């Protein structure tokens, strides 16, 4: 299972081997704003159902959320807005968070009624704790580490969801998954852990490993994020 964020492309813009790779079922949810956002899921198993968005009049066409049903599972790819303090972008982020928290509760209940576990994978654009970013003191008033954003993630984790990577790596610091292109952030490992695999408790307990696959060198990176790979002992 592969979940992607910031795909920034329409289906017809992708080469066939990317759009429909052999052995994979592809679900694409581009943004209605060309060249913005976009999420995708690549699954070895054919989805029983696909849902784009989460019932939001404002955000369902924004290319920020898609979910699929598989046997025993709901898999979702999320790209939460990054925000920017003091601008409309932060207001947008807060509106998204409010609606999405309600969706997470509804999703957990519906999935449980259907005998499914839930995995929401993606760019959550919030560092939860001090150990989730290198320079936490300097970022306490910045989007991504605001007290109200961190409290919102706490609500998520107190409502039947788990941060799987943190469960497997409880000490920190990191492991970071995003480094600014500015300065020497990558070389100094001055990063943020904002790419999360958030699951219901049943499958969280079956996670056996989590690896944040940081590129060996700056020249070998192909994004300001890196892949987060979690393995589960799952039928």
Ligand-binding site membership of 60 (annotated): no
pLDDT of 179 above 90: yes
Ligand-binding site membership of 10 (annotated): no
Ligand-binding site membership of 123 (annotated): yes
Choosing from 79, 128, 132, 176, the catalytic residue is 79
Q: What is the CATH number of the domain that holds 205?
A: 3.60.10.10
Q: Quote the domain boundaries for residue 51.
A: 2-232
Mean pLDDT for the stretch of residues 165-187: 96
Choosing from 25, 218, 225, 233, the catalytic residue is 225
Task: Count structural domains, the chain.
Answer: 1
User: Does the annotation count 60 as an active-site position?
Assistant: no
pLDDT of 235 above 90: no
Mean pLDDT for the stretch of residues 107-112: 98
Ligand-binding site membership of 25 (annotated): no
- Give me the pLDDT at residue 54, please: 98
Choosing from 69, 106, 123, 128, the catalytic residue is 123
Q: Which long-range contacts (CB under 8 A, 24 or more apart) does 134-142 make?
A: 134/173, 134/174, 134/176, 134/188, 134/189, 134/190, 134/191, 134/192, 135/190, 141/85, 142/85
Ligand-binding site membership of 139 (annotated): no
Mean pLDDT for the stretch of residues 210-230: 96
User: Does the annotation count 225 as an active-site position?
Assistant: yes
Between CA 97 and CA 142 the distance in angstroms is 16
User: Does the annotation count 79 as an active-site position?
Assistant: yes
- This prediction has a pTM of 0.96
């Amino acid at each position: 299972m592969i979940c992607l964020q910031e795909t920034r492309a329409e289906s017809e813009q992708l080469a066939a081997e990317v759009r429909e790779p052999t052995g994979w079922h592809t679900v694409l949810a581009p943004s209605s704003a060309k060249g913005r956002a976009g999420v995708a899921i690549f699954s070895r198993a054919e989805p029983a159902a696909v849902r784009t968005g989460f019932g939001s009049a404002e955000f369902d066409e924004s290319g920020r959320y898609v979910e699929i049903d598989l046997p025993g599972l709901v898999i979702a790819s999320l790209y939460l807005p990054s925000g920017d303090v003091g601008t409309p972008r932060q207001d947008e982020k807060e509106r998204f968070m409010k609606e999405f928290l309600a969706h997470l509760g509804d999703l957990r209940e519906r999935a449980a009624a259907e005998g499914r576990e839930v995995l929401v994978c993606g760019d959550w654009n919030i560092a939860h704790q001090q150990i989730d970013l290198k320079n936490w003191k300097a970022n306490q008033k910045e989007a991504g580490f605001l007290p109200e954003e961190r409290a919102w993630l706490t609500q998520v984790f107190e409502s039947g969801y788990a941060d799987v990577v943190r469960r497997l790596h409880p000490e920190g610091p990191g492991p970071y998954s995003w480094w600014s292109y500015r300065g020497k952030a990558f070389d100094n490992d001055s990063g943020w852990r904002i790419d999360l695999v958030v699951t219901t408790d049943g499958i969280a307990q079956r996670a056996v490993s989590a690896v944040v696959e940081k590129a060996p060198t700056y020249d070998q990176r192909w994004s300001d994020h890196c892949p987060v790979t979690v393995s589960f002992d799952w039928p």
